[in-house]
A and B are shown apart, each in its own frame.
Chain A
Amino acid sequence: MNVDLYERIWMWASGVILAMFLGAILIPAATAGIHPSSHVETVDPTTLATHPEFGTGGVTANSDGSVVVSVAASMFSFSPDPIEVPAGRPITFRITSSDVIHGFQVVGTNVNTMAVPGYVSKTTVTFDKPGQYAITCHEYCGVFHHEMVGTLVVK
């Protein structure tokens, strides 16, 4: 194709920049397993109240030191609330919803996922800094969406 020299330089430079962007994503994904939460598991949202794991939700400490937090989101609260977890240990959040789609974001951390009825989201994180964190619902879920705030206490 007959393209002006400067434009050809620009097009190659654009290609190189995009390749670098993609490299910055693909290399950590391949070598360090860095992915967004992409768990595939389903659960019946209409009977969640009697579900053994999500009925009340809760924090389970495993013998290997890891911790699993099961969270049921519903209009307009998270259960359990507050959530207490230890610092410096891998915490796996398992999250679902009993009604509409909610969000689950621990403000100031990388924990940011969706709570979709019928599906279980999973994300693992280690909190280094003890303290109190706000959990916000970031997907519109109804007229009191903004009041859907939980508390995470890292000890």
Chain B
Amino acid sequence: MTKHGVAAAHIGAAVVAFAVASLMGVLQALSMADISFPMRSESLYYMAVTSHGVLMALVFTTFFAIGLGYAIAREALGRQTGTRIGWVGFWLAIAGAAAAAWTILTGQSSVMYTFYPPLQAHPLFYIGATLIVVDSWIWVGIILFSYRSWRREHPSDPIPAPAHAVMATAILWSLATVGLAIEVVGMLIPWSLGWFEKIDPMVARTYFWWFGHPLVYFWLMPAYTLWYFVLPHIAGGRLFSDKLARMVFVLFLLLSTPVGFHHQFSDPGITAGWKLAHTITTYAVLYPSFVTAFTIIASLEVAGRMKGAKGLFDWIGKLPWRDPFFASIALAIIGFAFGGFGGAINAAYAMNALVHNTAFIQGHFHVTLGTTVALTFMGASYWLLPRILGRELRFPAVARIQPYLWFFGMTIFSTAYHIAGIRGLPRRVYSASLNGSLGGDWHTLTVAAAIGAIVLFTSAMAYVFVVAATWFAGRKIEAPAIEFAQPVKPEPVAGIWDRLGMWTAIAAVLVIIAYAYPLYQLISHPRFGSPGFKPF
């Protein structure tokens, strides 16, 4: 193993979680469509939804983001301090993930990845999740200490742009996980251990969404880091704007936390004015994604023109569509356009009532998390693994087809669920006919989604196969260098977007403004609390 051992370990664990979660995904889609398979049951279905959600949204993403962040920061800063502590964090997280997964797979924690109380999981479910977060905090510390070491040697240089992106992600994650820590350590763990009997579901839910939306950006920002700083290089071009890249990451740091009420539009206990305030910040956080769309596509046009394209659109044909990294990310970007449209609908305050908690939401996060992020991470594996393992990619022909297969399957899957949701199908149901009396076009749409899910599962297994074959049977080579895209115009000096200390302070103030008073309101009226329930 190369100097990137701790990064590779995290990515390996992420891929294992992804493999298990993929199987759980296809079982759910079949069940919703009332397609029978051996062992199909209600409890298996809700266990599968929980394990798919936890393993994909929390384990796969977090481990991958940590591994990728370690590798990118190490290359960009030329160092990594505290690698040994990073290994301690890794094994804590593995222990935590294994404990949580055991309680889920044995049916003791079918509480979904949102684990809303008063549904009560096994205590090890919450403790295991906490250990994963502890690893992520160690990761934040290592990134920031590595930066400090770099800064001492480069007192006035601009932060290397890829490291700037990883740092913004790490700081955002620190702000977000405060909410989670209060909920899980302060409320759920003692409650699940029986130290106190009752819990306030609305307070817990509000802390959860303080964490839950920036979680989305914790997935997305590593993907954007690759789009900005690696994709243009692989495409043979340059980064169109270094400065705007930095601005985008700072805007995400500022705006992606004070938005959580857009997940709680239908909740009682929170006044309309505060929901409206979070709506405004929610639309504001779309802005950096709009800017990203321009910068990335302009960078690709630069690449096409550097390869000799002359006309208005022929630069598109000059791009390396047969490179699995490039193809994955290009398709991920197309997916994100649709994800953005759907997101704007979900965020639309009153219009959300049409789609809230319907299958539309399942469709939505499968084009965002399931396409934009997952496809970027899969493509990133093909690029990164030879560089951090020192092994040649095995079965490149499979890797070349796999992203297209994923995109094709996801288009069927998510389109079907978007439509079913607009027609009122609730999300996360064992059968689309519900109690047997309903169905009609819901059934047809979920059958279409199940076909999409089978295609997705095939693609997922192709990905896992290529990764495993590369890892264990790839020809040993000298690890190719991790190279970043050069900007068209590099930043000569550190500008305002490099003042991450100041931006962190402003971001913290925004979180306090967004949450202090609504939380005070929630805890100031008469409260009764709920005992735990385990209806699974």
Contacts and interface: CB of A to CB of B under 8 A. Distances in A.
- A pairs with B: yes
B350 A140 contact: no
Given A3-B241, A35-B350, A117 B435 contact: no
Interface residues of B, number: 70
B348 interface: yes
A70 to B, nearest CB: 14
Contacts of A122: 268
A121 B272 CA distance: 13
B405 to A, nearest CB: 30
A146 B430 contact: yes
A40 B535 contact: no
A107 B424 contact: yes
A56 interface: no
Contacts, number: 213
Interface in B22-44: 42-43
A143 B240 CA distance: 52
A49 interface: no
A91 interface: no
A111 B356 CA distance: 10
A42 B290 contact: no
A15 B43 CA distance: 47
Nearest to B497: A1
B435 to A, nearest CB: 4
A58 interface: no
A100 B118 CA distance: 5
Contact of A114 (B268, B291, B424): B268
A108 B422 CA distance: 9
A140 B424 CA distance: 15
Given A34-B350, A137-B426, A138-B356, A143 B438 contact: no
Contact of A112 (B357, B428, B528): B357
B490 interface: no
Given A36-B350, A36-B353, A119 B536 contact: no
A76 to B, nearest CB: 8
Interface string A21-38: 110111011000011111
Contact of A118 (B294, B354, B528, B536): B528
Contacts of A22: 279-280, 283
Interface of B: 42-43, 46, 49, 110, 112, 116, 118-119, 200-202, 205, 240-241, 243-244, 265-272, 275-276, 279-280, 283-284, 286-287, 290-291, 294-295, 298, 344, 348-350, 352-354, 356-358, 424, 426-431, 434-435, 437-438, 521, 525-531, 533, 535-536
